[in-house]
């Protein structure tokens, strides 16, 4: 807080001005599936800095605890639960516990999906497809339906996730790409149906090098540690994105009240790999 002096008709008046950034998500309850992953971790930290009340789930208990501590160190209230998102009953229990704790849901961010390392379509199996289908499309389906009444009460926002793998048809990602395009189609339908209820639904196609990708590349021979070999395309801005600095702010905008006139859209946050101007 800072005081400044102004003069009005010969009188000296002090006015107090509060300096500092406004928290976009102050006291907003944000649910994130797949919160312990590469994008989920840094998105959660950024949301904590923006004043959000966080409800985080993931299948990886150790990494989820790490994210919780990082967010609590930022001053956030955090509820975490280990959830197998392909299981509707576990999703239902998660939503119910979040509402019991925070009494509302303002935003749902569906990050969870299981993905195999890239391999050709002919080497894919139905089991490969089913894993991405159940952890990605089915979990997104369930979570949106379960959160609907709570999001309707708050005029809430949903952010789902596509991928350049589907948008551009990247080799080696047949199952993942198919599921991600399914999520985009589902998002457009729900955006139309729920718009009258004040709920927005948008999709982010993120392009960034996450911790998971870095860790995977570190296991490869040095000559294979090239993001391009994993399907990453050259960006127009000359560098690959950072989740915390480049991707998380866009997701937070779409989860906030500032984006209420946007719905049914896909945002390619990838440094210009995909251009639709």
216 is catalytic: no
For CA atoms 48, 50, 52, 57, give the dihedral sign: negative
Q: Distance between CA atoms of 83 and 92, rounded to whole angstroms? A: 10
Phi-psi region of 276 (alpha: psi -120 to 50; beta: other; left: phi over 0): alpha
Which position among 133, 167, 176, 216 bears the catalytic label? 176
Residue 274 token pair: 């995909």
Please identify every residue annotated as catalytic.
176
């Amino acid at each position: 807080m800072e005081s400044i002096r102004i003069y009005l008709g010969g009188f000296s008046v002090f006015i107090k001005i509060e300096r500092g950034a406004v928290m976009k998500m102050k006291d907003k309850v944000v649910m994130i599936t797949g919160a312990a992953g590469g994008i989920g971790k840094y998105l959660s930290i950024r949301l904590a800095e923006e004043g959000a009340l966080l409800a985080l789930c993931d299948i990886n208990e150790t990494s989820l605890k790490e994210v919780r501590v990082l967010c609590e160190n930022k001053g956030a209230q955090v509820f975490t639960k280990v959830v197998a998102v392909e299981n509707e009953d576990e999703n239902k229990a998660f939503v119910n516990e979040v509402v019991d704790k925070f009494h509302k849901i303002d935003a749902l961010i569906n990050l969870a999906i299981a993905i195999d390392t890239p391999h050709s379509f002919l080497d894919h199996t139905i089991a490969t497809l089913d894993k991405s289908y159940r952890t990605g499309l089915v979990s997104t389906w369930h979570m949106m339906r379960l959160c609907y009444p709570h999001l309707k009460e708050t005029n809430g926002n949903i952010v789902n996730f596509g991928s350049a793998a589907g948008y551009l048809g990247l080799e080696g990602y047949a199952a993942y790409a198919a599921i991600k395009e399914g999520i985009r189609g589902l998002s457009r339908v729900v955006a139309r149906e729920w718009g009258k209820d004040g709920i927005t639904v948008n999709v982010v196609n993120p392009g960034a090098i996450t911790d998971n990708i870095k860790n995977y590349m570190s296991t490869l021979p040095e000559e294979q540690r090239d993001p391009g070999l994993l399907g990453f395309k050259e960006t127009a801005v000359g560098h690959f994105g950072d989740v915390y600095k480049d991707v998380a702010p866009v997701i937070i905008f779409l989860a906030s009240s500032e984006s209420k006139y946007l719905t049914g859209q896909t945002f390619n946050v990838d440094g210009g790999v995909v251009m639709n101007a």
